[in-house]
Chains A and B, each alone.
Chain A
C-alpha cells in the first residue's frame, strides 16, 4: 500500500497529493495518508469522500493515519 507522508505540510498540499494518488488507484486499492493537523485530516477526509472513497482515520501520538480505499 502506498503511503503519503504529508506531515508538516500545510493545506492544500496534503489534499493535492492525496487527490493525485487517488486518481492513480484502481477500484478496491488503498493508500495511507499521514497528517499532523486536524485541519489537514478533515480536508483529506472531505476530498477523499468527495471522490467516492471510504475513509478510516486513526490517531497515533501526534500523527493522524488516514486510510483511503477507492470504491
Chain B
C-alpha cells in the first residue's frame, strides 16, 4: 500500500494530481477569506507571521497564518509515516540564512513568492507574467552557477535538529488557536483577511504531506527544464495554474489586467528585478519557499535556517520600508506602486550578494 502510493506520487500523473489539488485548495482558501490572489503565498504568510510575533509593526500584515506551520507538520507526518524523516544539518547554514533573507526581500518587492505569482496569473493579474519571467531569469543564473560547480556542501546527521521546527510549529498553532495575547492580529488590511483557521490547517496539512511525497517545487520546475530538459515538476506547476484558473472562473475571481490588481503593483522593472533576486536565492538554496518548508518538515535543519532567514528578511522588509507598495487609485488617477528607494537598493544588494555566493561557493568538479 505504502509502496504503491509512493510509486504513484513519484509519477507524472501523481505530480499533476497534486498540482491540481493545490490550485483548487488555494482558490477555495481565498474564497473562504484569505486575501485576493493569495489563497497560498509562502512569502506573504511568513511576513504575516513575522508581524504576528511582533518582529515588525506594520499593522495591516499581522496574522499567524496557520498554513505555514501546517505545511511543515504535514510534511513531518508524511516523512515519519514513509520512513523518510532524517535529521540533518551542516550545509552552509549561515549562507542559507542570508539567501532566505534576501530572497524574501526580492519576493516582497514583487509582492509574492512563486506560488502567489502563479495564483496571481490564474486570477488574471498580468504583472505575474513579468514576475515569473524575472523568476526564470534568476533561476537560469543559478543554473549557470550549478553548472560551474556551485555547492553549499554536504549535510551531516544531527539527531535532534530535525525535530526543532516541527515542535516550534506546534507551539505556534497553540498560540493561534488559543488566541494568545502574545500575538498581534491585524484589524484591517490583508492581515485581517483569512479563512477559518481549522480549514486552513486541514488544507495545508494535506498539501504539506502530498508535497513531501511528490517533492513539489516551483523553482525546481524551471531549474530542471533548463538544466536537464526534465518537465516532471513543471507538469505539476502547470496543473496548479490551470486548476486555479478554472476554479477562479467558477468562483468569479478572475480580473484581467496590469493596473490596480489586488495587492499588486505594475512597476515592471522592480517586479522583474525583485523576482530575479528571489529566483536566484531559491536556486542557490535548492528549493522554492514552499519546498524549504517541506524539507524543514522532513528533518532538514538547513532548510529550517533558510525559513528563519525569510522570516527575518520579512521583518526587515517592513521595518525598513523595503517591501513593494500596491498600486492605488487616487482621485481617479492610478498611482503606480512598487518598492521605494530603500527597497530598490536592498534588491540590488541582494543580487550582488547572491552573485558573490554563486562565484565563491564552488567545489572542484570531480567528475
- Give me the interface of A with B, judged by CB distance under 8 Å: 2, 4, 7-13, 15-17, 19-21, 24, 36-39, 42, 46-47, 50, 62
Which residues of A are found within 8 Å of B156, using beta-carbon distances? 8
Contact partner, B232, options A16, A19, A36, A46, Cβ 8 Å: A46
Nearest Cβ on chain B to A65's Cβ, whole angstroms: 17
Verify A12–B155 contact, CB threshold 8 A.
no
Which residues of A are found within 8 Å of B286, using beta-carbon distances? 10-12
Which residues of B are found within 8 Å of A39, using beta-carbon distances? 215
Given the known interface contacts A7-B154, A16-B146, A46-B230, the answer about A21 and B367 at a Cβ–Cβ threshold of 8 Å is yes
Nearest Cβ on chain A to B353's Cβ, whole angstroms: 20
* Contact of B10 with A by CB under 8 A: yes
Give the CA-CA distance A19 to B367 in the complex, in Å: 9
Which residues of B are found within 8 Å of A8, using beta-carbon distances? 88, 91, 154-156
Given the known interface contacts A9-B151, A50-B230, the answer about A37 and B146 at a Cβ–Cβ threshold of 8 Å is no
Verify B367–A10 contact, CB threshold 8 A.
no
The contact sample of 19 A-B pairs, CB cut-off 8 A, is: A4-B366, A4-B367, A7-B154, A8-B154, A8-B155, A8-B156, A10-B91, A10-B152, A11-B286, A12-B220, A12-B227, A17-B366, A17-B367, A20-B367, A38-B82, A42-B10, A46-B232, A50-B230, A62-B86
Nearest Cβ on chain A to B357's Cβ, whole angstroms: 15
Verify B146–A12 contact, CB threshold 8 A.
yes
Nearest Cβ on chain A to B16's Cβ, whole angstroms: 16
Give the CA-CA distance A2 to B156 in the complex, in Å: 23
In the complex formed, the residue of B with least CB distance to A7 is B154
Which residues of B are found within 8 Å of A50, using beta-carbon distances? 228, 230
Give 3 closest A-B pairs by Cβ, nearest first: A8-B154, A21-B367, A8-B155
